Structure 1
Amino acid sequence: MVEGCPPLRLLLIGSPGAGKGTQSGRIQNNFEVSTISSGDLLRKNIAQGTEIGKRAAKEMKNGAFVSDEVMVKLIDSELDKLGAEQGWLLDGFPRTMTQAETLDHTLDSLNQPLNLVIHLNVPEEVILQRIMDRWVHIPSGRVYNMTYNPPKRAGLDDVTGEALERRPDDNPETFKIRLQKHHELTEPLLDYYKNKNILVSLAGNTSDEIYPQIRELLQTRFKPEESPSEAEGQGQA
Protein backbone atom coordinates (compact mmCIF):
# COMPACT_ATOMS: atom_id res chain seq x y z
CA MET A 1 0.00 0.00 0.00
CA VAL A 2 1.31 3.45 -0.94
CA GLU A 3 1.67 5.93 1.94
CA GLY A 4 -1.29 8.31 1.97
CA CYS A 5 -3.50 5.92 -0.03
CA PRO A 6 -6.14 3.68 1.52
CA PRO A 7 -5.81 -0.10 1.24
CA LEU A 8 -7.69 -1.46 -1.74
CA ARG A 9 -11.01 -3.01 -0.72
CA LEU A 10 -12.47 -4.17 -4.00
CA LEU A 11 -15.50 -6.10 -5.18
CA LEU A 12 -15.57 -7.68 -8.67
CA ILE A 13 -19.00 -8.21 -10.22
CA GLY A 14 -19.56 -10.10 -13.47
CA SER A 15 -21.61 -12.84 -15.10
CA PRO A 16 -20.62 -16.48 -14.53
CA GLY A 17 -17.58 -16.99 -16.77
CA ALA A 18 -16.85 -13.28 -17.18
CA GLY A 19 -13.26 -13.77 -16.04
CA LYS A 20 -13.47 -12.72 -12.40
CA GLY A 21 -10.99 -15.40 -11.37
CA THR A 22 -8.48 -14.39 -14.05
CA GLN A 23 -8.72 -10.71 -13.11
CA SER A 24 -8.52 -11.52 -9.40
CA GLY A 25 -5.25 -13.38 -9.95
CA ARG A 26 -3.70 -10.52 -11.88
CA ILE A 27 -4.77 -7.94 -9.33
CA GLN A 28 -3.49 -10.08 -6.46
CA ASN A 29 -0.10 -10.53 -8.13
CA ASN A 30 0.42 -6.85 -8.87
CA PHE A 31 -1.35 -4.87 -6.15
CA GLU A 32 -0.50 -6.74 -2.92
CA VAL A 33 -4.02 -7.77 -2.03
CA SER A 34 -5.58 -10.94 -0.70
CA THR A 35 -8.32 -12.56 -2.78
CA ILE A 36 -11.46 -13.90 -1.15
CA SER A 37 -13.18 -15.99 -3.81
CA SER A 38 -16.62 -17.32 -2.98
CA GLY A 39 -16.23 -19.90 -5.75
CA ASP A 40 -12.90 -21.17 -4.40
CA LEU A 41 -14.31 -21.35 -0.86
CA LEU A 42 -17.32 -23.29 -2.08
CA ARG A 43 -15.25 -25.71 -4.18
CA LYS A 44 -12.90 -26.29 -1.26
CA ASN A 45 -15.80 -27.13 1.02
CA ILE A 46 -17.43 -29.33 -1.64
CA ALA A 47 -14.17 -31.22 -2.21
CA GLN A 48 -13.71 -31.71 1.54
CA GLY A 49 -17.29 -32.90 1.95
CA THR A 50 -18.13 -30.41 4.71
CA GLU A 51 -21.73 -29.80 5.75
CA ILE A 52 -21.69 -26.45 3.94
CA GLY A 53 -20.11 -28.11 0.92
CA LYS A 54 -22.85 -30.73 0.70
CA ARG A 55 -25.57 -28.09 0.90
CA ALA A 56 -23.87 -25.96 -1.73
CA ALA A 57 -23.33 -28.89 -4.11
CA LYS A 58 -27.02 -29.79 -4.02
CA GLU A 59 -28.08 -26.22 -4.75
CA MET A 60 -25.54 -25.76 -7.54
CA LYS A 61 -26.50 -29.03 -9.21
CA ASN A 62 -30.02 -27.67 -9.61
CA GLY A 63 -28.72 -24.44 -11.17
CA ALA A 64 -29.44 -22.37 -8.07
CA PHE A 65 -27.17 -19.93 -6.29
CA VAL A 66 -25.96 -20.94 -2.86
CA SER A 67 -28.10 -19.59 -0.01
CA ASP A 68 -27.27 -16.28 1.67
CA GLU A 69 -26.78 -18.01 5.02
CA VAL A 70 -24.03 -20.28 3.69
CA MET A 71 -22.24 -17.53 1.76
CA VAL A 72 -22.27 -15.04 4.63
CA LYS A 73 -20.72 -17.59 6.99
CA LEU A 74 -17.95 -18.38 4.52
CA ILE A 75 -17.07 -14.76 3.71
CA ASP A 76 -17.28 -13.44 7.26
CA SER A 77 -14.84 -16.09 8.47
CA GLU A 78 -12.32 -15.05 5.80
CA LEU A 79 -12.65 -11.31 6.46
CA ASP A 80 -12.04 -11.88 10.17
CA LYS A 81 -8.59 -13.25 9.32
CA LEU A 82 -7.43 -10.02 7.62
CA GLY A 83 -6.02 -6.93 9.33
CA ALA A 84 -7.30 -3.40 8.76
CA GLU A 85 -4.23 -2.45 6.71
CA GLN A 86 -4.45 -5.47 4.39
CA GLY A 87 -5.87 -4.80 0.94
CA TRP A 88 -8.33 -7.37 -0.36
CA LEU A 89 -10.77 -8.12 -3.13
CA LEU A 90 -13.98 -10.09 -3.15
CA ASP A 91 -14.73 -12.35 -6.10
CA GLY A 92 -18.30 -13.63 -6.51
CA PHE A 93 -19.79 -12.16 -3.33
CA PRO A 94 -22.19 -10.49 -2.67
CA ARG A 95 -24.73 -11.67 -5.26
CA THR A 96 -27.92 -10.45 -3.59
CA MET A 97 -29.07 -7.28 -1.86
CA THR A 98 -29.34 -9.20 1.41
CA GLN A 99 -25.72 -10.28 1.05
CA ALA A 100 -24.64 -6.73 0.13
CA GLU A 101 -26.33 -5.17 3.14
CA THR A 102 -24.99 -7.88 5.45
CA LEU A 103 -21.49 -7.38 4.02
CA ASP A 104 -21.68 -3.62 4.59
CA HIS A 105 -22.69 -4.24 8.20
CA THR A 106 -19.72 -6.57 8.69
CA LEU A 107 -17.27 -4.19 7.01
CA ASP A 108 -18.53 -1.20 8.99
CA SER A 109 -17.97 -3.15 12.21
CA LEU A 110 -14.41 -3.87 11.03
CA ASN A 111 -13.90 -0.28 9.84
CA GLN A 112 -13.04 -1.64 6.39
CA PRO A 113 -15.74 -0.34 3.99
CA LEU A 114 -15.61 -1.16 0.29
CA ASN A 115 -13.93 1.60 -1.69
CA LEU A 116 -14.30 0.25 -5.26
CA VAL A 117 -16.68 -2.02 -7.17
CA ILE A 118 -15.71 -3.10 -10.71
CA HIS A 119 -18.34 -4.51 -13.04
CA LEU A 120 -16.87 -6.77 -15.77
CA ASN A 121 -19.09 -6.25 -18.82
CA VAL A 122 -18.50 -9.19 -21.21
CA PRO A 123 -20.93 -10.20 -24.05
CA GLU A 124 -23.06 -13.24 -23.24
CA GLU A 125 -22.11 -15.13 -26.41
CA VAL A 126 -18.43 -14.83 -25.48
CA ILE A 127 -19.12 -16.12 -21.98
CA LEU A 128 -21.12 -19.12 -23.21
CA GLN A 129 -18.28 -20.32 -25.46
CA ARG A 130 -15.82 -19.79 -22.64
CA ILE A 131 -17.94 -21.89 -20.28
CA MET A 132 -18.21 -24.79 -22.73
CA ASP A 133 -14.41 -24.94 -23.13
CA ARG A 134 -13.62 -24.73 -19.40
CA TRP A 135 -11.97 -27.44 -17.27
CA VAL A 136 -10.98 -27.05 -13.63
CA HIS A 137 -8.58 -28.52 -11.07
CA ILE A 138 -11.13 -28.64 -8.25
CA PRO A 139 -8.81 -28.69 -5.18
CA SER A 140 -6.88 -25.56 -6.22
CA GLY A 141 -9.48 -23.79 -8.36
CA ARG A 142 -7.06 -23.51 -11.30
CA VAL A 143 -9.01 -23.00 -14.51
CA TYR A 144 -8.04 -24.10 -18.02
CA ASN A 145 -9.67 -23.41 -21.36
CA MET A 146 -9.22 -25.76 -24.31
CA THR A 147 -9.16 -22.84 -26.76
CA TYR A 148 -6.75 -20.28 -25.30
CA ASN A 149 -5.29 -21.72 -22.09
CA PRO A 150 -5.06 -25.54 -22.41
CA PRO A 151 -3.15 -27.68 -19.89
CA LYS A 152 0.30 -28.87 -20.92
CA ARG A 153 -0.99 -32.45 -20.82
CA ALA A 154 -4.55 -33.07 -21.92
CA GLY A 155 -6.91 -33.52 -19.01
CA LEU A 156 -4.27 -32.99 -16.29
CA ASP A 157 -3.42 -30.09 -13.99
CA ASP A 158 -0.07 -28.45 -14.83
CA VAL A 159 1.07 -28.26 -11.19
CA THR A 160 -0.08 -31.52 -9.60
CA GLY A 161 -0.73 -33.76 -12.61
CA GLU A 162 -4.13 -34.60 -11.15
CA ALA A 163 -7.21 -35.01 -13.35
CA LEU A 164 -9.19 -31.98 -14.46
CA GLU A 165 -12.97 -31.93 -14.20
CA ARG A 166 -15.94 -30.10 -15.63
CA ARG A 167 -17.89 -28.10 -13.08
CA PRO A 168 -21.33 -29.68 -12.70
CA ASP A 169 -23.00 -26.41 -13.70
CA ASP A 170 -20.86 -25.86 -16.86
CA ASN A 171 -23.48 -26.83 -19.43
CA PRO A 172 -25.75 -24.69 -21.66
CA GLU A 173 -28.99 -25.47 -19.84
CA THR A 174 -27.69 -24.71 -16.36
CA PHE A 175 -25.72 -21.74 -17.64
CA LYS A 176 -28.84 -20.09 -19.05
CA ILE A 177 -30.58 -20.50 -15.70
CA ARG A 178 -27.59 -19.04 -13.87
CA LEU A 179 -27.29 -16.14 -16.30
CA GLN A 180 -30.95 -15.21 -16.01
CA LYS A 181 -30.75 -15.29 -12.22
CA HIS A 182 -27.49 -13.34 -12.33
CA HIS A 183 -29.10 -10.48 -14.26
CA GLU A 184 -32.12 -10.42 -11.96
CA LEU A 185 -29.91 -10.19 -8.89
CA THR A 186 -27.13 -7.99 -10.27
CA GLU A 187 -29.13 -5.04 -11.56
CA PRO A 188 -30.19 -3.95 -8.03
CA LEU A 189 -26.61 -4.46 -6.83
CA LEU A 190 -25.20 -2.24 -9.57
CA ASP A 191 -27.72 0.48 -8.69
CA TYR A 192 -26.86 0.07 -5.00
CA TYR A 193 -23.13 0.58 -5.51
CA LYS A 194 -23.66 3.29 -8.12
CA ASN A 195 -25.58 5.27 -5.52
CA LYS A 196 -22.59 4.84 -3.18
CA ASN A 197 -20.33 6.33 -5.91
CA ILE A 198 -17.94 3.36 -5.89
CA LEU A 199 -19.05 1.55 -9.08
CA VAL A 200 -16.98 1.45 -12.29
CA SER A 201 -18.07 -0.62 -15.34
CA LEU A 202 -15.35 -1.89 -17.71
CA ALA A 203 -16.17 -3.59 -21.02
CA GLY A 204 -14.34 -6.01 -23.32
CA ASN A 205 -14.46 -9.46 -24.93
CA THR A 206 -11.38 -10.84 -23.14
CA SER A 207 -9.46 -10.32 -19.92
CA ASP A 208 -6.54 -9.02 -21.99
CA GLU A 209 -8.82 -6.21 -23.13
CA ILE A 210 -10.25 -5.46 -19.70
CA TYR A 211 -7.23 -5.86 -17.41
CA PRO A 212 -5.30 -2.79 -18.74
CA GLN A 213 -8.35 -0.74 -17.81
CA ILE A 214 -8.35 -2.24 -14.32
CA ARG A 215 -4.61 -1.67 -13.95
CA GLU A 216 -4.86 1.99 -14.94
CA LEU A 217 -7.75 2.53 -12.55
CA LEU A 218 -5.95 0.93 -9.61
CA GLN A 219 -2.66 2.66 -10.42
CA THR A 220 -4.42 6.01 -10.36
CA ARG A 221 -6.34 5.46 -7.14
CA PHE A 222 -4.08 3.22 -5.06
CA LYS A 223 -0.52 3.31 -6.48
CA PRO A 224 -0.28 6.74 -8.14
CA GLU A 225 3.49 7.08 -8.27
CA GLU A 226 4.18 3.62 -9.73
CA SER A 227 4.07 2.49 -13.33
CA PRO A 228 2.96 -0.97 -14.46
CA SER A 229 5.84 -3.45 -14.39
CA GLU A 230 4.13 -6.80 -14.74
CA ALA A 231 4.49 -8.82 -17.93
CA GLU A 232 0.98 -9.62 -19.02
CA GLY A 233 0.14 -13.09 -20.26
CA GLN A 234 -1.56 -13.18 -23.63
CA GLY A 235 -4.66 -14.98 -24.82
CA GLN A 236 -6.48 -14.97 -21.48
CA ALA A 237 -10.22 -15.29 -21.02
Structure 2
Amino acid sequence: MNLILFGPPGAGKGTQAQFLVESYKIPQISTGDMLRVAVRQQTPLGLKAQEIMQQGGLVSDEIVLGIVEERLAQDDCRSGFVLDGFPRTIPQADALAEILQRCGRSIEHVVSLEVDNEEIVKRLSGRRSCPDCGKGYHVTYDAPKRVDVCDVCGVALVQRDDDREQTVRNRLAVYEQQTAPLKEYYRSQQLLRTIPGMGPIAEVQQRITAALAG
Protein backbone atom coordinates (compact mmCIF):
# COMPACT_ATOMS: atom_id res chain seq x y z
CA MET A 1 0.00 0.00 0.00
CA ASN A 2 1.47 3.36 -1.08
CA LEU A 3 0.52 6.08 1.38
CA ILE A 4 1.19 9.73 2.14
CA LEU A 5 0.65 10.90 5.72
CA PHE A 6 -0.18 14.50 6.60
CA GLY A 7 -0.65 15.90 10.07
CA PRO A 8 0.15 19.13 11.92
CA PRO A 9 2.64 19.16 14.81
CA GLY A 10 1.01 17.64 17.88
CA ALA A 11 -1.63 15.67 15.94
CA GLY A 12 -0.13 12.29 16.86
CA LYS A 13 1.32 11.70 13.41
CA GLY A 14 4.37 9.82 14.74
CA THR A 15 2.18 7.38 16.67
CA GLN A 16 -0.13 6.78 13.70
CA ALA A 17 2.79 6.43 11.29
CA GLN A 18 4.17 3.64 13.47
CA PHE A 19 0.73 2.02 13.49
CA LEU A 20 0.67 2.05 9.68
CA VAL A 21 4.19 0.60 9.52
CA GLU A 22 3.27 -2.27 11.83
CA SER A 23 -0.18 -2.92 10.35
CA TYR A 24 0.80 -2.96 6.68
CA LYS A 25 4.45 -4.07 7.03
CA ILE A 26 5.71 -1.11 5.03
CA PRO A 27 8.51 1.36 5.84
CA GLN A 28 7.98 4.94 7.02
CA ILE A 29 9.96 7.26 4.78
CA SER A 30 10.77 10.86 5.69
CA THR A 31 12.86 13.20 3.55
CA GLY A 32 14.89 14.22 6.60
CA ASP A 33 15.84 10.61 7.31
CA MET A 34 16.58 9.96 3.65
CA LEU A 35 18.88 12.96 3.40
CA ARG A 36 20.80 11.92 6.51
CA VAL A 37 21.21 8.35 5.20
CA ALA A 38 22.33 9.56 1.76
CA VAL A 39 24.89 11.88 3.36
CA ARG A 40 26.14 9.13 5.70
CA GLN A 41 26.45 6.66 2.82
CA GLN A 42 28.16 9.33 0.69
CA THR A 43 26.00 8.61 -2.35
CA PRO A 44 26.44 11.05 -5.27
CA LEU A 45 23.20 12.82 -4.34
CA GLY A 46 24.15 12.67 -0.64
CA LEU A 47 27.45 14.40 -1.37
CA LYS A 48 25.63 17.15 -3.28
CA ALA A 49 23.15 17.60 -0.43
CA GLN A 50 25.95 17.64 2.17
CA GLU A 51 27.79 20.41 0.34
CA ILE A 52 24.64 22.56 0.15
CA MET A 53 23.69 21.99 3.80
CA GLN A 54 27.22 22.77 5.00
CA GLN A 55 26.91 26.13 3.24
CA GLY A 56 23.59 26.76 5.00
CA GLY A 57 21.52 26.41 1.84
CA LEU A 58 18.25 24.59 1.16
CA VAL A 59 18.52 21.31 -0.72
CA SER A 60 16.86 21.67 -4.14
CA ASP A 61 13.77 19.77 -5.24
CA GLU A 62 15.90 18.04 -7.87
CA ILE A 63 18.16 16.49 -5.22
CA VAL A 64 15.31 15.65 -2.84
CA LEU A 65 13.36 13.98 -5.63
CA GLY A 66 16.41 12.02 -6.69
CA ILE A 67 16.89 10.75 -3.15
CA VAL A 68 13.16 9.88 -2.92
CA GLU A 69 13.40 7.92 -6.17
CA GLU A 70 16.47 6.04 -4.91
CA ARG A 71 14.73 5.20 -1.63
CA LEU A 72 11.48 4.00 -3.24
CA ALA A 73 13.48 1.65 -5.46
CA GLN A 74 14.83 -0.29 -2.45
CA ASP A 75 13.55 -3.77 -1.68
CA ASP A 76 11.68 -2.89 1.52
CA CYS A 77 9.38 -0.59 -0.47
CA ARG A 78 8.13 -3.32 -2.80
CA SER A 79 4.96 -3.83 -0.74
CA GLY A 80 4.42 -0.11 -0.24
CA PHE A 81 5.51 2.80 1.94
CA VAL A 82 4.35 5.63 4.17
CA LEU A 83 5.72 8.98 2.95
CA ASP A 84 6.03 11.40 5.87
CA GLY A 85 6.86 15.06 5.28
CA PHE A 86 6.82 14.75 1.50
CA PRO A 87 5.58 16.12 -0.81
CA ARG A 88 5.41 19.69 0.50
CA THR A 89 4.44 21.47 -2.71
CA ILE A 90 2.33 20.82 -5.81
CA PRO A 91 5.41 20.58 -8.09
CA GLN A 92 6.86 17.95 -5.72
CA ALA A 93 3.54 16.05 -5.83
CA ASP A 94 3.57 16.14 -9.65
CA ALA A 95 7.17 14.92 -9.71
CA LEU A 96 6.39 12.14 -7.22
CA ALA A 97 3.55 10.94 -9.46
CA GLU A 98 5.98 10.80 -12.40
CA ILE A 99 8.56 8.86 -10.37
CA LEU A 100 5.96 6.29 -9.37
CA GLN A 101 4.48 6.09 -12.85
CA ARG A 102 7.88 5.13 -14.26
CA CYS A 103 7.83 1.96 -12.14
CA GLY A 104 4.13 1.26 -12.62
CA ARG A 105 3.02 2.48 -9.21
CA SER A 106 0.86 5.27 -7.79
CA ILE A 107 -0.27 6.79 -4.50
CA GLU A 108 -3.30 4.89 -3.21
CA HIS A 109 -4.29 6.95 -0.17
CA VAL A 110 -3.39 10.30 1.38
CA VAL A 111 -4.17 10.21 5.11
CA SER A 112 -4.68 13.62 6.68
CA LEU A 113 -4.96 13.72 10.49
CA GLU A 114 -7.21 16.61 11.48
CA VAL A 115 -7.03 18.08 14.99
CA ASP A 116 -8.50 21.38 16.16
CA ASN A 117 -5.82 24.08 16.43
CA GLU A 118 -6.76 24.98 19.99
CA GLU A 119 -6.36 21.35 21.05
CA ILE A 120 -2.91 21.24 19.45
CA VAL A 121 -1.90 24.45 21.22
CA LYS A 122 -3.10 22.89 24.48
CA ARG A 123 -1.22 19.65 23.80
CA LEU A 124 2.10 21.24 22.86
CA SER A 125 2.20 24.35 25.05
CA GLY A 126 1.44 22.19 28.10
CA ARG A 127 4.53 20.02 27.68
CA ARG A 128 7.32 20.30 30.26
CA SER A 129 10.52 18.34 30.81
CA CYS A 130 13.21 17.88 33.42
CA PRO A 131 16.57 19.33 32.32
CA ASP A 132 18.41 16.77 34.47
CA CYS A 133 16.77 13.36 33.90
CA GLY A 134 14.77 14.20 30.78
CA LYS A 135 11.43 12.96 32.16
CA GLY A 136 8.49 14.55 30.37
CA TYR A 137 5.24 15.91 31.83
CA HIS A 138 2.12 17.74 30.73
CA VAL A 139 0.48 20.41 32.85
CA THR A 140 -2.99 18.98 32.08
CA TYR A 141 -2.61 15.33 31.06
CA ASP A 142 0.42 14.18 33.07
CA ALA A 143 1.15 16.79 35.73
CA PRO A 144 3.97 16.43 38.29
CA LYS A 145 3.02 16.08 41.96
CA ARG A 146 4.38 19.56 42.65
CA VAL A 147 3.73 22.30 40.10
CA ASP A 148 6.67 22.68 37.68
CA VAL A 149 8.96 20.41 39.72
CA CYS A 150 10.26 17.01 38.56
CA ASP A 151 8.94 14.10 40.64
CA VAL A 152 12.26 12.26 40.23
CA CYS A 153 14.90 14.99 40.62
CA GLY A 154 13.11 17.82 42.39
CA VAL A 155 14.49 20.13 39.69
CA ALA A 156 12.46 22.95 38.11
CA LEU A 157 10.84 21.83 34.86
CA VAL A 158 11.42 23.69 31.61
CA GLN A 159 9.40 24.38 28.47
CA ARG A 160 11.05 24.02 25.07
CA ASP A 161 11.04 27.14 22.93
CA ASP A 162 9.24 25.14 20.20
CA ASP A 163 6.37 24.50 22.64
CA ARG A 164 5.66 28.12 23.54
CA GLU A 165 2.16 29.12 22.49
CA GLN A 166 3.08 31.73 19.89
CA THR A 167 5.67 29.42 18.34
CA VAL A 168 3.10 26.62 18.14
CA ARG A 169 0.59 28.93 16.47
CA ASN A 170 3.24 30.03 13.97
CA ARG A 171 4.11 26.40 13.19
CA LEU A 172 0.43 25.61 12.63
CA ALA A 173 0.06 28.58 10.28
CA VAL A 174 3.06 27.43 8.22
CA TYR A 175 1.70 23.87 8.11
CA GLU A 176 -1.69 25.07 6.88
CA GLN A 177 -0.09 27.24 4.19
CA GLN A 178 1.98 24.30 2.95
CA THR A 179 -0.61 21.55 3.08
CA ALA A 180 -3.87 23.28 2.15
CA PRO A 181 -3.04 23.29 -1.59
CA LEU A 182 -1.82 19.68 -1.38
CA LYS A 183 -5.01 18.53 0.33
CA GLU A 184 -7.05 20.06 -2.46
CA TYR A 185 -4.70 18.53 -5.05
CA TYR A 186 -5.24 15.02 -3.66
CA ARG A 187 -8.93 15.60 -2.92
CA SER A 188 -9.46 16.35 -6.61
CA GLN A 189 -7.91 12.94 -7.37
CA GLN A 190 -10.20 11.29 -4.78
CA LEU A 191 -7.17 10.12 -2.80
CA LEU A 192 -7.58 12.25 0.34
CA ARG A 193 -8.75 10.43 3.49
CA THR A 194 -9.54 13.00 6.19
CA ILE A 195 -9.25 11.39 9.63
CA PRO A 196 -10.45 13.09 12.85
CA GLY A 197 -7.41 12.94 15.14
CA MET A 198 -9.22 13.67 18.41
CA GLY A 199 -9.95 10.95 20.96
CA PRO A 200 -8.12 7.82 22.15
CA ILE A 201 -5.25 6.57 19.98
CA ALA A 202 -7.00 3.24 19.33
CA GLU A 203 -10.11 5.03 18.02
CA VAL A 204 -8.04 7.12 15.62
CA GLN A 205 -6.35 3.92 14.42
CA GLN A 206 -9.75 2.33 13.79
CA ARG A 207 -10.80 5.35 11.74
CA ILE A 208 -7.65 5.08 9.63
CA THR A 209 -8.13 1.33 9.07
CA ALA A 210 -11.75 1.86 8.00
CA ALA A 211 -10.81 4.68 5.62
CA LEU A 212 -8.08 2.60 3.96
CA ALA A 213 -10.39 -0.39 3.62
CA GLY A 214 -13.21 1.65 2.09
Fold conserved (TM > 0.5)? yes
| Matches of 2:9 and 2:112, distance apart in 1 | 12
CA contact (8 A) 2:26 2:77 kept: no
Tell whether 2:115 aligns with 1:122: yes
| Matches of 1:96 and 1:41, distance apart in 2 | 18
- Distance of aligned partners of 1:214 and 1:123 in 2 relative to their CA distance in 1, 3 Å threshold: same
How many residue pairs get aligned? The number is 185
Tell whether 2:36 aligns with 1:36: no
Alignment of 1:38-117 (within 5 A): 38-41=31-34, 52=49, 55=53, 68-69=61-62, 71-82=64-75, 85-117=78-110
The Cα shift of 1:175 comes to 3.4
Match of 1:233 in 2: none
- Distance of aligned partners of 1:113 and 1:72 in 2 relative to their CA distance in 1, 3 Å threshold: same
Identity %: 32
Q: Runs of 5+ in structure 1 lacking a partner?
A: 1-7, 60-64, 136-143, 155-165, 222-237
| Matches of 1:70 and 1:145, distance apart in 2 | 37
Which of 140, 146, 157 is the aligned partner of 2:137? 146
| Matches of 1:34 and 1:94, distance apart in 2 | 16
> Secondary structure of 2:119's match?
helix
State the one-letter code of the partner of 1:217.
Answer: A
| Matches of 1:92 and 1:211, distance apart in 2 | 20
Q: Runs of 5+ in structure 2 lacking a partner?
A: 130-134, 144-149, 151-158
CA contact (8 A) 2:31 2:85 kept: yes
Q: Which has the larger radius of gyration?
A: 2
| Matches of 1:167 and 1:97, distance apart in 2 | 32
Aligned-pair Cα RMSD in Å = 3.8
Tell whether 2:175 aligns with 1:182: yes
Which of 205, 213, 222 is the aligned partner of 2:207? 213
What TM-score do the two structures reach when normalised by structure 2? 0.68
CA contact (8 A) 1:84 1:111 kept: no
> Secondary structure of 2:27's match?
strand
The Cα shift of 1:109 comes to 0.9
Tell whether 2:23 aligns with 1:23: no
After TM superposition, the runs of 4+ consecutive aligned structure 1 residues lying more than 6 A away are 43-48
State the one-letter code of the partner of 2:207.
Answer: Q
Mean Cα deviation higher: 103-112 or 173-182:
173-182
- Distance of aligned partners of 1:85 and 1:11 in 2 relative to their CA distance in 1, 3 Å threshold: same
- Distance of aligned partners of 1:83 and 1:39 in 2 relative to their CA distance in 1, 3 Å threshold: closer
CA contact (8 A) 2:5 2:85 kept: yes
Query: 1 or 2 for the larger relative contact order (CA 8 Å, sep ≥6)?
Result: 1
Alignment of 1:153-172 (within 5 A): 169-172=162-165
> Secondary structure of 1:146's match?
strand
State the one-letter code of the partner of 1:146.
Answer: Y
CA contact (8 A) 2:27 2:76 kept: no
CA contact (8 A) 1:42 1:56 kept: no
State the one-letter code of the partner of 2:91.
Answer: T
Match of 2:7 in 1: 14
CA contact (8 A) 1:46 1:56 kept: no
- Distance of aligned partners of 1:175 and 1:45 in 2 relative to their CA distance in 1, 3 Å threshold: farther
Which of 193, 197, 200 is the aligned partner of 2:190? 197
What TM-score do the two structures reach when normalised by structure 1? 0.62
> Secondary structure of 1:89's match?
strand
> Secondary structure of 1:33's match?
coil
> Secondary structure of 1:180's match?
helix
